[in-house]
């Protein structure tokens, strides 16, 4: 599983994942992520709780991956958190060097 883009806010996260095999199970990956981070949060930030459910969107073939990534990154600008998405510290990717993007 590859994390194409991750953006963490105080009250939610945007995670764009891609499987690296035909049998990759993204739902199972997200459930495991919520379980493991939920356990850490329970021990370290007991007032924080993940929502029970999450919103998911499967990219269609005609959707441009780079456009979706830029949309996610620019959420910080639209929310008024930063003037340029590169200023936001809580972002990352396991396959892209996001700070080199324009």
Identify the pLDDT of residue 1: 63
- pLDDT means per 10 residues, the chain with 102 residues, are 74 84 87 88 86 80 83 92 93 87 80
Contacts of 6 (CB under 8 A, 6+ apart): 13, 14, 15, 16, 91, 92, 93
Contacts 24+ apart (CB under 8 A), 55-59: 56/27, 56/30
Which candidate, 83, 89, 85, places its Cα nearest to that of 73?
85
Identify the pLDDT of residue 74: 93
Dist CA 67 CA 61 (whole Å): 13
Range of the domain at 48: 2-100
Q: How many domains does the chain have?
A: 1
Q: Does the pTM of the predicted model rise above 0.95?
A: no
What is the three-class DSSP state of 42?
Answer: helix
Identify the pLDDT of residue 46: 87
């Amino acid at each position: 599983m590859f994390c194409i883009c991750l953006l963490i806010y105080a009250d939610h996260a945007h995670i764009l994942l891609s499987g690296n095999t035909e049998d990759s199970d993204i739902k199972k990956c997200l459930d495991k992520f919520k379980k493991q981070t939920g356990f850490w949060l329970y021990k370290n930030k007991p007032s924080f709780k993940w929502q029970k459910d999450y919103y998911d969107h499967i990219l269609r073939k005609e959707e441009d991956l780079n456009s979706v990534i830029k949309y996610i990154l620019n959420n910080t600008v639209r929310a008024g958190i930063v003037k340029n998405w590169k200023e936001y510290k809580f972002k990352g990717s396991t396959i892209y060097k996001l700070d080199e993007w324009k």
